[in-house]
Amino acid sequence: MPVSPSVVIGVDSSTQSAKAVAVDAATGRVLGLGRAPHTVTGTGGARESDPEEWWTALVTAVRAAVRDAGVDPGSVTGIAVAGQQHGLVALGADHRPLRPALLWNDTRSAPQAAALADRFGGPKSWLERTGSVPVASMTAAKWQWLREHEPHHAEATAAVRLPHDLLTERLSGEAVTDPGDASGTCWYAPADGAYDPALLDLLGLTPAQLPTVAPTGATRAGGLTAAAAEALGLPRTVAVAAGTGDNMAAAVGLGLGAAGLLDHPVVSLGTSGTVFAATRGRPADPALAGFAATDGTRLPLGCTLNCTLAVDRFAALLGLDREDALPGGETVVLPYLDGERTPDLPAASGLLTGLRHTTDPRAILGAAYEGAAFTVLRALDGLLAACGLDPADPAVRTRPLRLIGGGARGRTWTDTVRRLSGRPLVVPAATELVALGAAALAAGASTGEDPVALATAWGTGAGETLPALARDEETWERIEGVLGTAAAGLLS
């Protein structure tokens, strides 16, 4: 009977679902995949989920991945969770959620974010302290919203957790986070590697309510608790890594580490659109999140709220297949259906302009793609500028982009990004980079090896290169002009 390989499990607990991969720790080969859905509720800017459902989905996905892999559960040596960033989980004295979690794309906390940003000397001081200026997405703003709108819940909160923190604690019994996900709270100081005491005082939090910050996401938090081992059908000897946020895990899966890879900035097309790059520097730009990477270095990131989900909504409204699109022509769509984070327009709604009697519905859908891709690529220009690079420099503009996320599998998405960026694209062959990055963290926890080096050796960031197309300056300038007019008052 063949001997099962040493297997590690990476979990991507995202907004919409939990995905788990069972991976051969030696080669990085995906042996099995499991998934289970999450439910998101809320209207009028509210976006919430039941954290208990995250745990149920994780158990379902992990069991399915091990079953799909066909391996002996006893061969599993490590597990790590990468979770959606910023979500606020308030736990009571019984360590159970007091209410549904406030998710990253819940924009109700925009007034609290603006008020916080004015404290401590304004945005510049926040950048120096935390690397980021509070916006509605950040956990600090959500906690302040809870204090103001549901003070009974805030007062009853014994512990505050991020989504991945909660799941790691359910697995290991240890309250632990990592520098990467902690850096998205706006109460953690990446330069100091610790929570900022003055900000905790401002927010009415104490260190005792927060998880310990492990040195890296690959730090071993412990083994599985008896309850977790039984739920998952795995041995208690499985090493549980501290884990990290989803964007940080994607960077690990791509092999982005301390050396920095600004030659290959990353564009991720999912429910949200994100752009990020690994760097040793500390770019200071209020439009960026100055995140730490899971290894404690830098992962500056720009994020938009409206990406693939918003475009799919336009396809549904038009009764079209998502791939049945044409270039927008004179039609412009700003698909800000959930408000927007970059640019910072939390109260925005979608905008459609340039319609004629002769407008083809497929061009409206194409314009939605263009509006979403433009917003992400505009954030990329800001990221590059903050890192000391001129986005207009031909030597910079022609560098390849790594395109990841669900949108990277869509023909219209890749064509639109190529046309509006004028850059070649590298599309990794691996489809679950967040989960694979988590698997590398799990392997690091079980073996002590560097997870970025492991992912690089596994080749998870390798893939097809699509040559550059001529940059569509006319469409870019048309959308930029509409955004400039809209941001002046029409969207907010």
Q: Catalytic residues, which ones?
A: 246
CA separation for the pair 399, 256 (Å, rounded): 16
Q: Which amino acid is at 183?
A: S
d(CA 318, CA 338): 19
**Of residues 132, 12, 4, the one with CA closest to residue 75:** 4
Sequence-ordered list of residues with C-beta below 8 angstroms from that of 235, at least 6 positions apart, any chain: 73, 74, 76, 224, 229
Nearest Cα residue to 58 out of 85, 81, 91, 28: 81
**Contact between residue 67 and residue 125 where contact means Cβ atoms under 8 Å apart:** no
Count CA atoms within 13 Å of residue 12 on its CB side: 26
Angstrom CA distances, 482 to 334, 364, 375, 472, 476, stand at 8, 15, 12, 16, 10
* Residue 302 near residue 275, CB atoms below 8 Å: yes
Work out the angle at residue 213's Cα, subtended by the Cα atoms of residues 211 and 219, and round it to the nearest 5 degrees: 115
Helical ranges in 239-357 per DSSP H: 246-253, 308-318
- Given the structure tokens 């918003």, which residue do they identify? 310
- Burial call 85-95: b when 16+ CB within 10 Å, e when fewer: bbbbbbbeeee
Tokens representing 282 are 């500390």
In this structure, which amino acid lies at residue 323?
E
Cα–Cα distance measured from residue 167 to residue 418, given in angstroms and rounded to the nearest whole number: 37
d(CA 156, CA 285): 36
Whole-Å CA distances, 236 to 161, 173, 336: 24, 12, 46
Question: Is 154 within 8 Å of 204 (Cβ atoms)?
Answer: yes
d(CA 338, CA 342): 12
The residue ranges of DSSP E strands in 50-208, in sequence order, are 76-83, 89-91, 101-102, 159-161, 176-177, 188-189, 194-195
Residues 26 and 8 sit within 8 Å (Cβ to Cβ): no
Do 248 and 433 contact (CB within 8 A), yes or no? no
**Residue in the structure block whose two tokens are 């360590």:** 95
Q: Give the phi and the psi of residue 195 in degrees, each rounded to 5.
A: -65, 145
486 in Cβ contact with 347 (< 8 Å): no
